[in-house]
Amino acid sequence: METTGGQAVRVRGLRKRYGTARTGWKQAVAGVDLDVGRGEVVAVLGPNGAGKTTTVEILEGFRARDDGEVLVLGEDPARADRAWRARIGVVLQDSRDLGELTVGEVVRATARSYPEPRDPAELIATVGLEEKARTRLRALSGGQRRRLDVALGIVGRPELLFLDEPTTGFDPQARRTFWELVESLRDGGTTILLTTHYLDEAARLADRVVVVREGVVVAEGPPGTLGGAEARTPLVSWMQDGAPRSEVTDRPTELVARLAREAAGPDGEVPHLQVVRPSLEDVYLSLIGAEVGAVGTTTGAQTGTAAEEGTR
């Protein structure tokens, strides 16, 4: 096997199910392939229960997998040692621990575990908690707490950082501040694997988005191209003879001109005329809303979009 110098994460055919023979099985991850290149920011996007956290926790070495091939920084997380843990950074979902310690104490204590940690005081300033260095954790706001979690995740200068739903429950201002922090890490060359169910977050932070649904990857690509070019084809909708009509077309201007001639009312207006270029959100919703089996192709995704638009 070749070295994974250019690759931080390589996953093939990952499977994991929960449950027992008695209670029945739930297939949380049903054959996921995933690649993350060095220096890349990849967002795993999907609804709750899609298998995002299970996948990431297998990559972090917290869970055993049932099947599949997993290499993280060239090693199998299931057999990873301290040296490997020193090379990754993990920001878990919710955190409410260590309440009685101060920000400074927690960062300094965590830094002790790593061979070449960042300077704790500088790091606290980087995440904007300078004034809170002597504050106990229980007194931090949700956004401050999350920025501290990131500080603890990167204090060991990880080559790969896992962020699991980092901004759930944030107000817009806290989210923006958090994004800026992640962007500065990205610009510093840290490889980041992010899970989120916020589309705007994935679009803003990620080089590449992987959409998962019911344990499988249903789409993958840079945020701007997700779902393929056809998924972005404009949709023209209008009312004709009392019924809603719509058409997906590459040439919306031509269609509108034709409608102006053929479907306009006495006042020269086409009733309820709209030209909509499906947003990333439309594409995403169609991806996770459609049946898994039907989504392999962009046509499937597009049909879903058109149908959804048509009903509005």
Say which residue the tokens 């459609």 belong to. Answer: 290
SS3 191: strand
Q: Which is nearer to another protein, 7 or 167 (CB)?
A: 7
Q: Would you tell me which residues interact with another protein (CB under 8 A)?
A: 1-5, 18, 54, 57, 60, 62-63, 74-75, 82-83, 85-88, 90, 92, 94-98, 100-101, 105, 109-110, 112-116, 136, 152, 156, 159
Q: Are 283 and 301 in contact (CB under 8 A)?
A: yes
Q: Which is nearer to another protein, 92 or 235 (CB)?
A: 92
Closest approach of Cβ 184 to another protein, in Å? Answer: 22
Closest approach of Cβ 257 to another protein, in Å? Answer: 58
* Nearest-angstrom CA–CA distance, 203 and 220: 13
Q: Are 108 and 151 in contact (CB under 8 A)?
A: no
Q: Which is nearer to another protein, 108 or 175 (CB)?
A: 108
Closest approach of Cβ 82 to another protein, in Å? Answer: 4
Closest approach of Cβ 116 to another protein, in Å? Answer: 5
Closest approach of Cβ 76 to another protein, in Å? Answer: 10
CA dihedral sign, ordered 191, 6, 72, 110: negative
Q: Which is nearer to another protein, 73 or 217 (CB)?
A: 73
Q: Which is nearer to another protein, 129 or 231 (CB)?
A: 129
Q: Which is nearer to another protein, 100 or 122 (CB)?
A: 100
Q: Are 110 and 152 in contact (CB under 8 A)?
A: yes
Q: Which is nearer to another protein, 156 or 223 (CB)?
A: 156
114, amino acid identity: Y
User: Residues with Cβ < 8 Å from 101, sequence gap 6 or more?
Assistant: 109, 136, 137
Closest approach of Cβ 53 to another protein, in Å? Answer: 9
CA distances from 251 to 48, 131, 168, 180, 275 (A): 37, 56, 40, 38, 11
**135 conformational bin, left if phi > 0, alpha if psi -120 to 50, beta if neither:** beta
Report DSSP letters for 1-36, one per residue: ----TTEEEEEEEEEEEEEETTTEEEEEEEEEEEEE
SS3 158: coil
Q: Which is nearer to another protein, 161 or 280 (CB)?
A: 161
Closest approach of Cβ 232 to another protein, in Å? Answer: 38
Closest approach of Cβ 16 to another protein, in Å? Answer: 9
Give the orientation angle of helix 142-154 with respect to helix 172-187, to 10 degrees: 10
Q: φ and ψ at 270, to 5 degrees?
A: -85, 120
The tokens of 72 are what? Answer: 């993280």
